[in-house]
Structure 1
Amino acid sequence: MRYLTKAMILVSMTLSAAIFGFFYAWVCSTMWGLDAADPRVAIQAMQAMNASVRNFVFAPAFFGTPVALALTAFLLMREDNRRSAMAFGLAGGVYFALGLLLTMRINVPMNEALAMVSVPDDAASARAIWQDYLLGTLAVLEPDTDDHVRCRVSAGGFRRDAAGAETGLRCG
Structure 2
Amino acid sequence: MTDKSASIALLLAALMLGTMAGFFYAFSVCVMPGLDAARPAAAIEAMQEINRAVRNPVFFTSFFVTPAVAAGAALLCWQAGRRRAAYAAGLATLTYLAGAMAPTIVVNVPLNQALAAYGDGGNGLPAADMWRAYSPAWTGWNTARGGFSIIAMAFALLALATPAAHTRETSAHKTRP
- With normalisation by structure 1, the TM-score equals 0.87
Q: Does the 8 Å CA contact 1:91/1:157 hold for their aligned counterparts? A: yes
**C-alpha distance 72-100 of structure 1, shift in aligned 2 (>3 A):** same
User: Which one has a bigger Cα radius of gyration?
Assistant: 2
Q: Does the 8 Å CA contact 1:20/1:151 hold for their aligned counterparts? A: yes
Q: Does the 8 Å CA contact 1:98/1:150 hold for their aligned counterparts? A: yes
- Unpaired runs of 5+ residues, structure 1, are 138-143
Aligned counterpart for 1:155 among listed residues 150, 154, 169: 150
| Mapping 1:14-29, distance limit 5 Å | 14-29=15-30
SS of the residue aligned with 2:56?
A: coil
Deviation at 1:129, TM superposition (A): 1.1
| Structure 1 moving runs of 4+ over 6 Å | none
Q: What are the superposed Cα offsets for residues 91-136 of structure 1, whole Å, 9 maximum, x if unpaired? A: 1101101100110111111111211111358xx9211111111244
**Which position in structure 1 is the counterpart of 2:172?**
none
- With normalisation by structure 2, the TM-score equals 0.85
Q: CA RMSD in A?
A: 2.0
| Mapping 1:126-145, distance limit 5 Å | 126-137=127-138, 144-145=139-140
Q: Between the two proteins, what is the percent identity of the paired residues?
A: 34
